[in-house]
């Protein structure tokens, strides 16, 4: 089973003769203990075109030291990475293959660099013996594979211990700088080895057309690229079950699909529509997990808000049993989708589409005019959906119509978001107002979904002789929440449809 460790560290240039300052003069450091020298031997793997390194990912198999095994590192922020570890084996762990699949896809990972290091370790301890940080002086020998090009250097690495304030690293760096020791220009040993032994990784190529800056095609493709990058980046986050990862991946799918529809004067829908259907499929497979998360949180909060005297029967126990069973099933479905050939084909299709985008004549036109018209059109479409929904009597048909209006609100908001780099503050203001409409319609839809679940709970409780009172009470509260959202909608929409908002887009 793989384990994850948050790695917070800084690297510094050094030579074999670089003297270390007295680090007990750093506030909080009481003692510096020499832990001796360990020999480390690591082989780093990547695709032949260095796709992992281009995204600042590291995959290695290391022997020696206390953490021998397979390691994969994902960047979090400058100097911060999540290191996932698996036991030493001869072949790449299957879990790691999954984590890297969105970037590697059909490519083979091969050895690209071998690093052999002599690591001279010192522990920085607090007065009570707590480990604060580990400082190591690493003498590194790098060999590029398979060319055999070599390089060597010495560096100082300071890694923060778990649950220690990162301000300690600032204090240590201050002492090192006073001693003439400067931060390393390379973010990692692998990056330095690649730079000093051969061609460095290059970012994924962007499409060469349209070349004209300021064109509608350039603006829309930049946005689509952003969503494609998000899908690739969020894939391993979903596999790691990180908070909000499923939601963010679904949003990236929706944003791209929405862009294909909104900007059909720029991108040929004969090409993008089939891609949009695959994005819809992926979002749907992931949606089971996300929808379950939202419903779970809502129902638990509703029960927690009730006085204890109104909670009759094993209400929370029923919620927990259902939540656990559905959560397991939803996660299995999401991971199965990410492991499927259909998903890999979608990633390949997106890469091909962006490498040779299906641009229409509108792509060559001025971005401001094209994007403003598209945003106007989606905003008008939302207005029509809301007007239709509010013309219906309360009930099932109105609920369905409001759900369709919610979808239109998302599309209008995404259209404005995509246009923000071109249209500036007017698009930002419109997106904010439309987001308020979307949120209100989302609250209405959540209440509708919750009512259906509560009815099911009530029927099951009654069928086994339990009280259905609490389920009925919660059902009534969800009815009231939906009705409140419907009453509020005209005012929220009035703010989002103020004439000056849309007029500003065309200025």
Does one domain contain both 90 and 110? yes
Does one domain contain both 235 and 306? yes
Q: What angle do CA 406, 407, 408 make, to 5 degrees?
A: 90
The answer to whether the beta carbons of residues 434 and 379 sit under 8 Å apart is: yes
The answer to whether the beta carbons of residues 252 and 347 sit under 8 Å apart is: no
> Residue 94's Cα: distance from chain center in Å?
22
Copy the structure tokens of residue 202. 């290059």
Copy the structure tokens of residue 60. 């290695």
Domain presence at residue 297: yes
Does one domain contain both 11 and 96? yes
Q: Does residue 407 have a pLDDT over 90? A: yes
The pair phi, psi for residue 179, each rounded to 5°, is -85, 5
Does one domain contain both 227 and 316? yes
Domain end (from 305, 330, 361): 361
Coil, helix or strand for 174? helix
Secondary structure (DSSP) of 390-411 = HHSPTTHHHHHHHHHHHHHHHH
Domain end (from 326, 361, 396): 361
Copy the structure tokens of residue 150. 């070599």
The answer to whether the beta carbons of residues 502 and 382 sit under 8 Å apart is: no
Q: Does residue 210 have a pLDDT over 50? A: no
Among 210-214, 285-289, 454-458, 493-497, the least confident range: 210-214
CA distances for 45 relative to 55, 113, 180, 248, 376, angstroms: 14, 7, 35, 29, 49
Does one domain contain both 217 and 343? yes
Does one domain contain both 274 and 174? no
The set of residues, in sequence order, having a beta carbon less than 8 Å from that of 282 and lying 6+ positions away, is 253, 337, 343, 346
The pTM assigned to this predicted structure is 0.89
Domain presence at residue 226: yes
Domain presence at residue 203: no
Does one domain contain both 343 and 460? no
Q: What angle do CA 335, 341, 344 make, to 5 degrees?
A: 85
Percent of the chain with pLDDT over 90: 87
State yes or no: cis peptide before 42, omega within 30 of 0.
Answer: no
Does one domain contain both 411 and 473? yes
State yes or no: cis peptide before 146, omega within 30 of 0.
Answer: yes
Domain presence at residue 202: no
The answer to whether the beta carbons of residues 176 and 33 sit under 8 Å apart is: no
Q: What is the pLDDT of residues 341-393, one digit of tens each?
A: 999 999 999 999 999 999 999 999 999 999 999 999 999 999 999 999 999 99
Write down the H helix ranges in 263-340: 269-304, 315-338
The pLDDT confidence band at residue 289, using thresholds 50, 70 and 90, is confident
Does one domain contain both 25 and 104? yes
Q: What is the mean pLDDT of the chain?
A: 93
In total, how many domains does the chain have?
Answer: 3
Q: How far apart are CA 304 and CA 311, in angstroms?
A: 9
What domain range is 117 assigned to? 3-197
Q: What is the pLDDT of residues 56-82, one digit of tens each?
A: 999 999 999 888 999 999 999 988 999
Query: What mean pLDDT comes out for the span 500-506?
Result: 90
Domain presence at residue 374: yes
CATH of residue 267's domain is: 1.40.20.10
CATH of residue 132's domain is: 2.40.320.10
The pLDDT confidence band at residue 326, using thresholds 50, 70 and 90, is confident
Does one domain contain both 302 and 429? no
Of the candidates 241, 332, 346, which has an alpha carbon nearest to the alpha carbon of residue 285?
332
Of the candidates 296, 343, 304, which has an alpha carbon nearest to the alpha carbon of residue 320?
296
The pLDDT confidence band at residue 171, using thresholds 50, 70 and 90, is very high
State yes or no: cis peptide before 210, omega within 30 of 0.
Answer: yes
Does one domain contain both 327 and 387? no
Q: Does residue 293 have a pLDDT over 90? A: no
Domain end (from 361, 392, 413): 361
Q: Does residue 438 have a pLDDT over 60? A: yes
């Amino acid at each position: 089973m793989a384990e994850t460790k948050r790695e917070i560290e800084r690297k510094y240039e050094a030579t074999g003769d670089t003297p270390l300052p007295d680090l007990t003069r750093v506030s909080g450091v009481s003692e510096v203990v020499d832990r001796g020298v360990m020999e480390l031997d690591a082989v780093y793997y990547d695709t032949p075109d260095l796709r992992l390194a281009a995204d600042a990912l590291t995959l290695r198999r290391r022997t020696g030291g206390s953490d021998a095994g397979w390691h994969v590192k994902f960047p979090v922020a400058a100097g911060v990475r999540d290191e996932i570890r698996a036991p030493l084996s001869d072949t790449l762990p299957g879990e790691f293959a999954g984590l890297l699949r969105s970037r590697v896809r059909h490519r083979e990972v091969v050895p690209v660099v071998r690093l052999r290091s002599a690591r001279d370790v010192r522990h920085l301890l607090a007065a009570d013996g707590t480990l604060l940080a580990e400082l190591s002086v690493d003498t590194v020998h790098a060999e590029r594979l398979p060319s055999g090009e070599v390089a060597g250097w010495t560096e100082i690495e300071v890694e923060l211990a778990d649950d220690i304030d990162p301000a300690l690293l600032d204090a240590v760096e201050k002492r090192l700088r006073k001693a003439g020791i400067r931060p390393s220009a390379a973010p990692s040993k692998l990056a330095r080895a690649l730079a000093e032994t051969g061609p460095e990784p290059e970012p994924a190529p962007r499409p060469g057309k349209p070349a004209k800056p300021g064109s509608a095609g350039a603006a829309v493709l930049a946005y689509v690229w952003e969503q494609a990058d998000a899908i690739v980046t969020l894939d391993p986050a979903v596999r790691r079950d990180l908070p909000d990862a499923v939601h963010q991946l679904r949003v990236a799918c929706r944003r791209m699909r929405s862009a294909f529809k909104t900007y059909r004067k720029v991108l040929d829908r004969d090409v993008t529509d089939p891609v949009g259907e695959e994005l819809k499929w992926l979002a749907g497979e992931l949606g089971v997990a996300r929808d379950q998360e939202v419903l779970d949180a809502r129902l638990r909060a509703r029960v927690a808000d009730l006085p204890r005297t109104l909670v009759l029967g094993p209400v929370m126990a029923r919620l927990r049993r259902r939540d656990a069973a559905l959560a397991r099933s939803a996660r299995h479905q999401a991971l199965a989708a990410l492991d499927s050939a259909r998903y890999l084909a979608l990633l390949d299709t997106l890469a091909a589409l962006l490498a040779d985008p299906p641009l229409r004549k509108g792509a060559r036109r001025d971005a401001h005019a094209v994007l403003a018209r598209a945003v106007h059109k989606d905003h008008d479409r939302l207005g029509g959906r809301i007007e239709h929904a509010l013309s219906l009597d309360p009930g099932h048909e109105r609920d369905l119509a409001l759900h369709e209006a919610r979808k239109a609100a998302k599309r209008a908001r995404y259209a404005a978001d995509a246009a923000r780099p071109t249209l500036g503050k007017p698009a930002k203001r419109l997106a904010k107002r439309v987001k308020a409409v979307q949120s209100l319609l989302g609250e209405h839809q959540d209440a509708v979904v919750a009512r259906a679940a509560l009815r099911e709970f009530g029927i099951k409780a009654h069928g086994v002789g339990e009280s259905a009172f609490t389920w009925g009470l919660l059902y009534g509260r969800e009815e009231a929440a939906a009705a409140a959202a419907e009453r509020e909608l005209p005012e929220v929409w009035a703010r989002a449809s103020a004439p000056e908002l849309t007029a500003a887009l065309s200025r």
